[in-house]
Amino acid sequence: MRELTAWLAAPEAAAFPYRPVLAEFHRVGKHFVADGLLASLAAARERLAELPPEASVAPGRRLLDGFLDTALDKWDGRYDYPTYTALVLLAAPDAGPGTRVRDHRDRLVAMLLADLLRFEREAAAGATGLFPELRPDASLVAKRYRLALRVALPALRRLGLDHPDPGAEPGEAARLLWETVSGALDEGERQVLRLSMLPVYVSHDEYLFVRVLQAFEATFALLVVRLRSSIAALDADDEAGAVRSLGVAESALAESAPLFSLLATMQAAAFQEFRQFTEGASAIQSRGYKLVESLCRTPDAERLHSHAYRSVPEVRAGVLDGQRTLDDAYRGYRARRGDGGDVRDGLTGAMAGFASALRRWRQTHYRLAVRMLGERSGTGYTEGTPYLSAVRRIPVFDSVPTASAPDSGTEDEARAGAGAQRTAGVTVG
């Protein structure tokens, strides 16, 4: 409070006392931060708004605005999934070309998972007192090392960064992952990693939960860009460009699959402990996932008017305003070429491949949720598994026939099984 009071007397974004503020949030969890500190943070936000217009572009201002937006969500009565996962802090500075967006996704996923394993290693060694409740045992930590590394390695390779030998001892590989990624980060990225972790409570496993959700959202953001690129390519009669973009999207989905297995290592007791303080934040509010779905095909009226889409009003508004979809672009392209009937070519195959990947993603999510939740409601008291059962059957495209998702479990579902039976989860969709 002393540092914050001093800052209020001479507010400057780059000099904000993040460390003591963050330390208090971490000591008790966001849900239990004292009203006095929250009132001071609200005052800081007001002081920023009173500064001259040129101050809005001062160094550190965007970061501070994002942090206060995330830290004050419960105080403001607007706590939800985007603020729980601090997505405003993790967003790319600008859309940029497709390759740059993929690099941002890869870099972000590598950062998030390396930081997760750093925390797991420090907690296992007794080197940190953060989030001390219900530490996992050594076997569970080793499994987390293995699964997180599996997701991070393709990203590291594309970024041209050194990566641990997949056959190395898990703890050593986790150490090397953090050393490699940490050495490539600038101070701004390090600050984002610190500020984007604001759990509601002090359960150890909430760190895992938040980082996995953030990694999924980074992948959704890439899919959105690639789907829009595919639409633009087809509208310009660039079939090869559309196929390339769809291939990137499909591979990104496939690479993210082990995140479900990683999530399944969360301990049931830990989840039930912090879950009681997450009311109002559900991944059903995921803007990224709804954009992916609605860019593939226009949602049916019932879906569009459901709670799922009303939770993301800006996405719903775009659909109602006539947002162009990949279905639209594909049909237009076929019409201009004079194609008809059941066309079998690279473009149709690329769309079918992406659709199959997304349906497998939905199926894996559903099966994991069944094991985790049973008939209980989802995070934030959403509809849980009955909702996911319906969502997994929604067609990805209308213009391209695709096979149904397999009823048998995938490799990642099988890996997730044992841990998931001890856990409770989150509804994304």
Q: Provide DSSP, 380-399.
A: TS---HHHHHHHTTS-S-SS
pLDDT for 358: 93
pLDDT for 89: 95
pLDDT for 250: 96
Model confidence at 38: pLDDT above 70: yes
pLDDT tens per residue, range 12-31? 999 999 999 999 999 999 99
pLDDT for 414: 38
Distance CA 298, CA 318 (A): 10
Model confidence at 426: pLDDT above 60: no
CB atoms within 10 A of CB 342: 8
pLDDT tens per residue, range 182-196? 999 999 999 999 999
Summary count for the chain: helices (H), strands (E): 23, 0
Distance CA 14, CA 62 (A): 10
pLDDT for 417: 38
CB atoms within 10 A of CB 116: 26
pLDDT tens per residue, range 270-296? 988 998 999 888 878 899 999 999 999
pLDDT tens per residue, range 50-84? 999 888 888 899 999 999 999 999 999 999 999 99
At residue 410 the predicted structure's pLDDT band, cuts being 50, 70 and 90, is: very low
Model confidence at 150: pLDDT above 70: yes
The string of DSSP letters for 53-98 reads GGGGGSTTHHHHHHHHHHHTHHHHT---HHHHTTHHHHS-SS---H
Which among 255-269, 301-315, 317-331, 395-409 has the top mean pLDDT? 317-331
pLDDT for 308: 87
Domain ranges of the chain: 2-78, 98-420
Mean pLDDT, to the nearest integer, of 333-350? Answer: 80
Instruction: List b or e across 274-284, with b for residues whose CB sees 16 or more CB atoms inside 10 angstroms.
Output: bbebbebbbbb
CA 299 to centroid of chain Cα atoms: 22
pLDDT for 188: 92
Stronger pLDDT, 385 or 62, i.e. the higher one:
62
pLDDT more than 90, % of the chain: 71
Query: What is the assigned CATH class of domain 98-420?
Result: mainly alpha
Distance CA 406, CA 51 (A): 57
pTM of the full predicted structure? Answer: 0.89
- The number of residues making up the chain comes to 429
At residue 412 the predicted structure's pLDDT band, cuts being 50, 70 and 90, is: very low
Q: If you average pLDDT over every residue of the chain, what do you get?
A: 87
Model confidence at 380: pLDDT above 70: no
pLDDT for 246: 97
Instruction: List b or e across 411-427, with b for residues whose CB sees 16 or more CB atoms inside 10 angstroms.
Output: ebbebbeebbebbbbbb
The string of DSSP letters for 286-343 reads -HHHHHHHHHHSPPPHHHHTSHHHHTSHHHHHHHHTT---HHHHHHHHHHHHT--SS-
